[in-house]
Amino acid sequence: MQHPVHLFKALSDQTRLSIVMFLREADELCVCDLCAGGPVNRSLKFRVIWRCWRESGLVLDRKDGKWVYYQLSPAIPAWAAAIIDSSWNCLREETRLKLKNRRARVEQNSHIH
């Protein structure tokens, strides 16, 4: 991430910001956690978001079998981490509640299948 415009583009809507806040809270999440019960589906929209983040260097992924896990890059510049941390401080409680609800949906769906 070389320029602030890349970070602001990566956080430019509620969905993108929410996912970055989830990753800030949880360190690493599976795509199922990110997509559960929210505005992000597993297809086109998530691929567009991921491409934006990959280009900016904001998020890293790793595969574990058929699952893909995402995390905020530890290599992001200090100024970008400070912006993310400031946003997280404002949205901490909301983020924790949303993430808890998403995880509950994933757990519930895993018992259904």
Instruction: For residue 39, give every residue at least 6 positions away whose Cβ sits within 8 Å of its Cβ, in sequence order, or none.
Output: 14, 15, 45
pTM score of the predicted model: 0.78
The pLDDT, as a whole number, for residue 91 is 93
What is the count of structural domains for the chain? 1
Q: Tell me the C-alpha distance between 50 and 47, whole Å.
A: 5
Query: Angle at CA 7, nearest 5°, toward 90 and 97?
Result: 30
Where residue 37 sits, what CATH number does that domain have? 1.10.10.10
CA separation (Å) from 76 to 9, 12, 30? 15, 17, 21
Instruction: For residue 86, give every residue at least 6 positions away whose Cβ sits within 8 Å of its Cβ, in sequence order, or none.
Output: none
On average, the pLDDT of the chain sits at: 82
- In Å, the largest CA–CA distance within the chain is 45
Domain that holds residue 45: 4-112
The pLDDT, as a whole number, for residue 101 is 84
Express each pLDDT in 37-89 by its tens digit: 555 555 556 677 777 777 778 889 899 998 888 999 999 999 999 999 999 99
